[in-house]
Amino acid sequence: MSVAADSAVLTFRAAGDADVPAIVALVESAYRGDVSKKGWTTEADMLEGQRTDPDGVADLIARAYSRIVLAERAGELVCCCHVEKQGDAGYFGMFAVSPTLQGGGVGKAVLAQAERVARDEWGCARMEMTVITIRDSLIAWYERRGYVRTGVKKPFPYGDERFGIPKRDDLEFEILSKDLR
């Protein structure tokens, strides 16, 4: 499937095992280290260490009713996300846009594609995600796209370096939800 975003055509496809290194590199560049600071989604001020790893990405690709959606422009990976059917909801996560392309419509197009997969292919009634509660601008971005804060909080996995090394002691997640019907 193709969509125009930022005046260039995006093509979507499901990730395969050969895509794992590129996905890990994209996710790390969007959230960690100095390169992530070129975009607005960086978590570098609150977390260091890894955001994901090859084993974790490969596991998501291998699961039933789980897909890593890749968005490419002229054959170059520019965005990815993970969408998974969990009961009657789709779960949205591991959303990463190349830092130099953030704010240009790519993310909005990929989010819409993930919602389409959950609704049209898997029959999900809603999409859910977890967002770190102190990420006000990110939460506002999702709210502009129809997501609502549920008030349901989940603890941050302190001590599990697979999710990063916190620089703060006040991190927690909140579930955001959107009706897809």
What pLDDT sits at residue 35? 81
What pTM does this model have?
A: 0.91
Instruction: Give the residue-averaged pLDDT of 94-98.
Output: 96
Nearest to 6 by CA among 57, 66, 73: 73
32-83, pLDDT tens digit by residue? 877 878 888 788 889 998 889 999 999 999 999 999 999 999 999 999 999 9
- Evaluate whether 77 touches 26 at the Cβ level (below 8 Å): yes
User: Is the pLDDT reported for residue 11 higher than 50?
Assistant: yes
Count other Cβ atoms within 10 Å, centred on residue 105: 17
Report the distance separating Cα 51 and Cα 173, nearest Å: 15
Question: What proportion of the chain, given as a percentage, has pLDDT over 70?
Answer: 96
Task: Determine the average pLDDT of the residues in 136-146.
Answer: 96
Q: Is the pLDDT of residue 181 over 70?
A: yes
Give residue 40's pLDDT: 81
CA atoms within 13 A on the CB side of 11: 8
Cα dihedral sign, 124-148-71-93? negative
Query: How far apart (Å, rounded) are the C-alpha atoms in residues 26 and 21?
Result: 9
pLDDT score of 7: 47
Q: Judge: domain 2-179, CATH 3.40.190.10.
A: no
What was the pLDDT predicted at 2? Answer: 56
Query: In a 3-state reduction of DSSP, which class is residue 100?
Result: helix
Q: How high is the mean pLDDT of the chain?
A: 93
What pLDDT is recorded for position 4?
Answer: 53
Give the start-end residues of each E strand in 2-125.
2-5, 8-14, 47-48, 66-73, 76-86, 89-97
Out of 8-12, 40-44, 137-141, 173-177, which region has the weakest mean confidence (pLDDT)? 40-44
